[in-house]
Amino acid sequence: MKETMQALSQLEGDVIENEQLKNHTTWKIGGPASLFFEPHSIEALKQGIGIIHDEGIPWFVLGRGSNLLISDKGIDGVVIKLGEKLSDYSLEGNILRVGAGYSLIKLATIISKKGYSGLEFAAGIPGTVGGAIFMNAGAHGSDVSKILTRAHVLFPDGSMKWIENKDMAFSYRTSRLQTEKGIVIEGEFELQQGDAQVIKQELQKNKDYRRDTQPWNYPCCGSVFRNPLPRYAGQLIEESGLKGFSVGGAQVSTVHANFIVNKGDATSKDVLNLIKHIQNTIFEKYHVKMETEVEQVGNSD
């Protein structure tokens, strides 16, 4: 790993040993990464992946760390953070091209002020563009698949390819990149021009809804469970009497039952045990299997 660190240190970016990943997740949970690499350019990312791939070292990509539960024992290998250095955007006509590290909330706000519609649903989604494409993030009846035209993806062998929307295998909170190893480095979206005031009002309405119905006073990851349609995860959890139920420092939010909050000292094990308790309770009461939306990564607790 020392040789890998030395090689990555020659690239444009930051390399840190044993970086605490709780500092990079919205849940404020997660142990150390053997190596933490934040490239400052696409070229540095490409070269870095080449080094990591050639040496056979496992790697994981991190954006803003939402929808993510990282083990307290951390992650072996290299954690690659796509941050502000990979967050440029350009707008030509109705076509928006944006770097994977761009904040989705910030992007939606900026674009709405310019009078472009399509990203209003993203108000309040605490992730990056790359993570949103990876997860097919959505809310308020829309999602990424509705506006993405293509995604620029870097593969482990160093090749880069634009993948068209129809080839992304989008479905509910899913894309092909959840089964195929690749890193979104850019996304291209087709928006619609409209009345900036109307668009901003819709965006603000969505922001207000999230502020009023979801917990932001404690660290959380976003929605924990996928909705077992036609039912809704939060509704089932609340009806089962688990709102406010705690395991260690992890608690089912008293505001929205599909959120688990960190009351200050929650561990990944606390969260996992709480998730299992919810799943068992819902299955016993309703014979419904609750699948997590949150991604679980890292060494076993």
Q: What percent of the chain has pLDDT over 70?
A: 100
| Average pLDDT value for residue range 101-128 | 92
Residue 45 has pLDDT above 90, yes or no: yes
The H or E element spanning position 142 is strand 142-143
What is the enclosing helix (H) or strand (E) of 112?
helix 104-113
Instruction: Say if residues 132 and 125 touch (Cβ distance below 8 Å).
Output: yes
Residue 202 has pLDDT above 70, yes or no: yes
* 255, part of any domain: yes
d(CA 223, CA 209): 15
145: in domain? yes
Write phi, then psi, for 176 (nearest 5 degrees): -65, -20
Task: Give me the torsion for CA of 69, 73, 75, 80, rounded to 10°.
Answer: 60
Instruction: Report whether pLDDT(301) > 70.
Output: no
Contacts of 33 by beta carbon, 8 Å cutoff, 6+ apart: 18, 19, 21, 74, 75, 77, 78, 79
The range of the structural domain enclosing residue 15 comes to: 2-84
Whether the per-residue pLDDT at 214 is higher than 90: the answer is no
| Total number of domains constituting the chain | 3
Task: Look up the CATH number of the domain holding residue 38.
Answer: 3.30.43.10
Distance CA 205, CA 223 (A): 19
Same domain, yes or no, for 52 and 162? no
Q: Tokens representing 185?
A: 């480095």
For the segment 154-181, the average pLDDT, to the nearest whole number, is: 94
- The amino acid at 138: G
Kindly report the average pLDDT of the chain as a whole number: 94
Q: Is the pLDDT of residue 50 over 80?
A: yes
- Say if residue 29 is in the same domain as residue 118: no
173 DSSP 8-state letter: T
CATH of the domain at 133: 3.30.465.10
Q: And the tokens for 139? A: 């809310």
β-strand pairing of 32-39 with 13-20: antiparallel
Q: Is residue 220 part of a domain?
A: no
Tell me if the pTM is above 0.85: yes
CATH of the domain at 273: 3.90.78.10
Residue 222 inside a domain? The answer is no
- Quick: pLDDT tens for 66-77: 989 999 999 999
84, 27, 31: which is closest to 60 by C-alpha? 31
Mean pLDDT over 169-192 rounds to 95
Is residue 109 assigned to a domain?
yes
Q: Do 23 and 57 fall into the same domain?
A: yes
Alpha-carbon distances, residue 290 vs 77, 231, 232, 276, 295 (angstroms): 31, 11, 10, 9, 14
Indicate whether 227 belongs to any domain: no
Give the closest residue to 266 by CA, choosing from 29, 89, 1: 29
* In a shared domain, residues 129 and 76: no
| Rounded-to-integer distance, Cα 266 and Cα 263, Å | 7
Residues 38, 96: Cα–Cα separation, whole Å? 24
Catalytic residues: 173, 223, 293
Q: Give the Cβ contact number of residue 72 at 10 Å.
A: 19
| Judgement on whether residues 179 and 104 belong to the same structural domain of the protein | yes
Summarised one tens digit per residue, pLDDT across range 13-36 is 999 999 999 999 999 999 999 999
pLDDT class of 139 with cuts at 50, 70, 90: confident
